[in-house]
Amino acid sequence: MVYYITTLLVYGGIDAIACLGLSQQFGVAGVTNFGFIIFQAAGAYTAAVLSLPPDGANGGFQQYVLGWNLPFPLPLIGAALVGGLLSLPFAAIVGKRLRGDFAAVGLLVTAVMFNLLVTNFQPFLNGAAGLSLVPQPLQSVLNPQGSAYAWSYSAAAIVLAYIVYRFLRRITNSPYGRTLRAMRDNDVVADSLGKDLRSLRTSALVTGGAIAGLSGGLLVGFITLWDPQAWGYAETIVLFAAVIIGGRGNHRGAILGAILVPLAFEEATRYIPPVPNDANLVPALQWVAIGLLIVLFLWFRPQGILPERRRIIAGARGAAAAVPSSVVASSAVAVAAPAASESDAGLLERVTAIPVAVRPAYSGAAILACSGLGRSFDGVHAVDSVTLEFAPGRLTGIIGPNGAGKSTLLAMLAGTLRPTAGRILHRDEDITALPAHRRARRGVVRTFQLASEFKRLTVIENLLTPIPGQRGDTFRGAFLGRRYWGGQERENIDRAEAMLERFGLEALADRYAGDLSGGQRRLVEIMRALMAEPDVLLLDEPMAGVHPRLAHQIGMLLVGLCEGGTTVIMVEHELSIMDEFCDPVIVMAEGRVLAEGAMATLRSNAEVVEAYLVG
C-alpha cells in the first residue's frame, strides 16, 4: 500500500515537471513542440548512462556509451543539461518561416526518427531492449528497497516539481514572460517592436527541454529501466492532452493536467476490473478516451480547465471594475477594418502633446532614405526602383491606389519584408540587411493595417511590451526576480498609465486588448508604437475604418509628435488627411513614385489629378 502511494506521488511529481516544461513552450511561448518527448527521453538516457557502471559490468549484457558511475546528483544535473542542449538544433527548425502545422509535423517526425535510430543502433543505448539495472540515487548509502527510500523519493519529486513551478512562475511573471506571450499572440508584430524571435524561441525551447530532461532523469532513477517503448508517438500526445485539458499558459493548469491525465486517468483505469478474456481492453479504451478528451476539449474548452490568468497591473488610478472578459482562445482570424462607431469619435478629446523620449538630434538632410529600392516576385514588380529621402521632423504622406506598392514600401523600410534590390539608410547608416527587430531597436517602428494588437495581453501589457531597455526583458533579468527589475517596471507602468490617460483610455488598462472596439484598438496600436520610443514612425493606414473626427484628432496628435522631433511617415487613402496634415506627400502608382510635393502642387500636376483626384 505504501509503495502504491509513494509510486503515485513520484509519478505525479515527474508528470507535473514534464507538463510544466511543455506548458512553458506551448502555452506561454506558443511553440508547438511535438518532439517534446525526446527531451524527456534524452534526460532519462543521460541519467542512466551517467550513473551506470561501464557496460562490461553486470556480465556485459547491455551495450551503451559512457557508463561513468557517477553519484547523485550528477546524473540528474546531466539529464537537465542534455535536455537543454538537445533543444538547440530544434530551435533551428522551429525558427524557420514555416507554416505552423508543417513545423509541428516536422517535429513529430523527428521524434519518431530519433526513436527509430535509438532502437536500431544497439551500441548507443542498447537498442530496443533499452537500459536496465540503472543505479538509483544514493543507493549505496540508503536502502532502495525500504519504505523510507520510497517516501524520500516522493518528497524529492514533489519538491522538485514545486521548485520548477516557482521558477517558471518567476520567469513568466516578468517583462520577459510578457514578451514570450506577445510573441505567442502575434510574432510578426513582436518582431517589428524590437523582439528577437529567434533567441526568444530558443530560450523557451531550452528551458522546456531542460525541464523535460530533469523529469526523465528523475523517472529513470525511480524505475531503473528505460527503453524506446516508453517514449513513442503516443506518449507525446498524452502530455499534450494533459496540458490542453489542464490549461495551457497557466502553470497551475499544467500541474492539474498532469494530475488528471497521466496520473488519475491512468490510475483510475486500474480499478476497473479487467474484462475476462480480454486483458487489453481497458488499456486500449484508455487511449481511446484520451483521444476523445483531446477532441472534446479543443471543441468545448480550448483554453483548458484553468485558463491563463488575466494579469491586473494598473494601480488604483484609472482601473475600472474588473469586467469578466471572455478568454480569447486559439482563434486567430484577422478581422477586416472594423466600422467606426460614434462613441469612438470622442476618444481623443483630451489629447495634449505627448512627450516621447527623443533620441539624439539628427542634423542631416534625410533621417531615412532609400535608393533603388525594389521588391519583385516572379517578374512582377510590387515596388520598382524607388529612391526617396525623408527629412527629419516632417509628417510625410504616401498615397496611391490599391496595389501601388505603398504598404510594400513601408514593410521594406520597417524590415518586415526583404527587398530584392536597393538600399535603405537610417541616419546615414546602411540598414538594408538589418532584420525588423534590430531596426525597431534603432527607433524605426511600424504599425500594421489589419488588427494587430496582442489579443490575450491586456491593454497596458500591450503598451509595456515594446518599451526598450527593460531590465526584466531577458531570461537572466527575469530569473533575478522582481527585486532586480521591479523598480524600473513600476516606472514603466506609470508611463504607460500616463499615456493611457492622455488618450482617455485609462479605464481599459486591464481589459484584454482583443475585446476592444475598432477605434480603441487602433489607438492602442498607435500608443504601443509610441511606447517603443520611435525615431521614425511608419504608419500603415492608421485611419482605416476610423470615425472622421477621431481621424482628425489622430492627425493632430501626429503633428504634435513631429513638432517634438519624431519623424512620421504615413500611408493613407484619405486625401483630406493629406491636405490637412502631411507635407510633403508622395504619390505612388504601379510600384513607382509618380510625384512628390505639397498637396497644392500635386493637385495642379495634371498626371496626378487625372488619375487620382476627384472634382
Partner 1 sequence: MSLFVASLGFGLLTAAVLALAAVGFTLQFAVTNVLNLAYSGVMIVCAYIAYAVNAAGVSIWVCVLVGIAAGALISLVLNNFIYRPFQRRGTPPVSIVIVSLGMTLIFEFGTQAIAGPTNVSYSMSQGATLQAGAFQLTAAQIAIIVISIVMMGVMHLVIRYTRLGKAMRATAANRDLARNCGIRTDRVVMATWLITGALCGLAGVVFGMNSGSFGATSTDIFLVLILAAVFLGGPGEPYGAMLGALVIGMATEVSAAFIVADYKYVVAFVILIAMLAVRPTGLLGARA
Partner 2 sequence: MSAESGLRTVEGVALTVSELIAGYNGSPVLHGVSIGVKPGEIVSIVGPNGSGKSTLLKSVVGIVEVMSGTIRVGERDVTGWRSEEVARIGVGYVPQVDDVFAPLTVRENLEMGGYLLRSREVPSNVERVLGVFPQLARMLTRRAGKLSGGERKMLAMGRALMLAPALVVLDEPTANLAPAIARAVLQEHVRQLAATGASVLVVEQRAKAVLEISDRTYVLTGGQLRMEGTPAELAASNEFVESFLGGSVEGARAAGA
- How far apart are alpha carbons 218 and 224 in whole angstroms? 10
Site for partner 1 in 217-236 (CB under 8 A): 232-234
Does 99 sit near partner 1 (CB under 8 A)? yes
What mask of x and - would describe binding to partner 2 in positions 347 to 386, judged by CB under 8 A?
-------------------------------xxx------
SS3 135: coil
Give the count of residues interacting with partner 1 (CB under 8 A). 50
Q: What is the dihedral of CA 603, 606, 609, 612, to 10 degrees?
A: -130
Give yes or no for a contact between 386 and 594, defined as CB atoms under 8 angstroms apart: no
Q: Which of 278, 342, 429, 610 binds partner 1 (CB under 8 A)?
A: 278
| Residue that is written with C-alpha cell 508543417 in the block | 102
Site for partner 1 in 319-338 (CB under 8 A): 330-333
- How far apart are alpha carbons 386 and 376 in whole angstroms? 12
Q: Which of 66, 85, 294, 417 binds partner 1 (CB under 8 A)?
A: 294
Q: Which of 266, 267, 389, 590 binds partner 2 (CB under 8 A)?
A: 590
| Beta strands in 217-323, from DSSP E residues, in sequence order | none
In single-letter form, the type of residue at position 446 comes to R
Query: Integer distance in angstroms from the first to the last C-alpha of the chain?
Result: 90
Give yes or no for a contact between 304 and 241, defined as CB atoms under 8 angstroms apart: no
Closest distance to partner 2 from the beta carbon of 525 (Å): 16
Q: Which of 80, 193, 197, 244 binds partner 1 (CB under 8 A)?
A: 244
Q: With respect to partner 2, which residue has the nearer C-beta, 403 or 469?
A: 403
Site for partner 2 in 456-475 (CB under 8 A): none
Q: Which of 573, 583, 595, 597 binds partner 2 (CB under 8 A)?
A: 573
- How far apart are alpha carbons 419 and 430 in whole angstroms? 13
- How far apart are alpha carbons 522 and 449 in whole angstroms? 9
Q: Which of 225, 285, 319, 434 binds partner 1 (CB under 8 A)?
A: 285
Q: Which of 65, 98, 113, 339 binds partner 2 (CB under 8 A)?
A: 339
Residue-wise DSSP of 35-99: THHHHHHHHHHHHHHHHSPPTTSGGG-S-BS----PPTTHHHHHHHHHHHHHHHHHHHHHHSS--
Closest distance to partner 2 from the beta carbon of 297 (Å): 24
Closest distance to partner 2 from the beta carbon of 304 (Å): 24
Q: Which residues contact 452 (CB under 8 A, 6 or more apart)?
A: 186, 188, 189, 525
**b (16+ CB within 10 A) / e for 466-500:** bbeebbbbbbebbeeeeebbeebbeebbebbbebb
Question: Cell numbers of 104, please?
Answer: 509541428
Q: With respect to partner 2, which residue has the nearer C-beta, 324 or 379?
A: 379
Does 133 sit near partner 2 (CB under 8 A)? no
* 576 binding partner (options partner 2, partner 1, none; Cβ < 5 to 8 Å by kind): partner 2
Q: Which of 54, 57, 102, 343 binds partner 1 (CB under 8 A)?
A: 102
Q: With respect to partner 1, which residue has the nearer C-beta, 288 or 321?
A: 288
In single-letter form, the type of residue at position 507 comes to A
Closest distance to partner 2 from the beta carbon of 322 (Å): 25
Does 98 sit near partner 1 (CB under 8 A)? yes
Q: What's the half-sphere exposure (Cβ side, CA atoms, 13 Å) at 608?
A: 21
Does 113 sit near partner 1 (CB under 8 A)? yes
Q: Which of 8, 66, 77, 93 binds partner 1 (CB under 8 A)?
A: 93
Does 579 sit near partner 2 (CB under 8 A)? yes
- How far apart are alpha carbons 537 and 531 in whole angstroms? 11
Closest distance to partner 2 from the beta carbon of 188 (Å): 20
Which residues are registered as beta bridge partners of 424?
Answer: 370
Site for partner 2 in 488-547 (CB under 8 A): 544-546
- How far apart are alpha carbons 588 and 569 in whole angstroms? 14
Does 240 sit near partner 1 (CB under 8 A)? yes
Does 570 sit near partner 2 (CB under 8 A)? no
Torsion sign (Cα): 461, 463, 465, 470: negative
Q: With respect to partner 2, which residue has the nearer C-beta, 359 or 592?
A: 592
What mask of x and - would describe binding to partner 2 in positions 309 to 338, judged by CB under 8 A?
------------------------x-xxxx
- How far apart are alpha carbons 160 and 219 in whole angstroms? 12
Does 548 sit near partner 2 (CB under 8 A)? yes
Give yes or no for a contact between 472 and 489, defined as CB atoms under 8 angstroms apart: yes
- How far apart are alpha carbons 460 and 477 in whole angstroms? 21
- How far apart are alpha carbons 348 and 499 in whole angstroms? 12
What mask of x and - would describe binding to partner 2 in positions 262 to 301, judged by CB under 8 A?
----------------------------------------
Give yes or no for a contact between 285 and 468, defined as CB atoms under 8 angstroms apart: no
Q: Which residues contact 34 (CB under 8 A, 6 or more apart)?
A: 104, 105, 107, 108, 111, 236, 240
Does 281 sit near partner 1 (CB under 8 A)? yes
Closest distance to partner 1 from the beta carbon of 380 (Å): 13
Cα–Cα separations (whole angstroms), residue 271 to 94, 261, 264? 41, 15, 11
Total number of residues shown for the chain: 615
Closest distance to partner 1 from the beta carbon of 41 (Å): 17
- How far apart are alpha carbons 446 and 408 in whole angstroms? 12
Does 96 sit near partner 1 (CB under 8 A)? yes
Q: Which of 1, 56, 59, 101 binds partner 1 (CB under 8 A)?
A: 101
Q: With respect to partner 1, which residue has the nearer C-beta, 141 or 288?
A: 288
* 499 binding partner (options partner 2, partner 1, none; Cβ < 5 to 8 Å by kind): none
Binding site for partner 1 (CB under 8 A): 32, 93, 96, 98-106, 108-110, 112-113, 116-117, 119-120, 232-234, 237, 240-241, 244, 278, 280-281, 284-288, 290-295, 298-299, 302, 330-333, 378
Binding site for partner 2 (CB under 8 A): 333, 335-340, 378-380, 401-404, 544-546, 548, 573-576, 579-580, 589-590, 599-600, 603-604, 607, 610-615
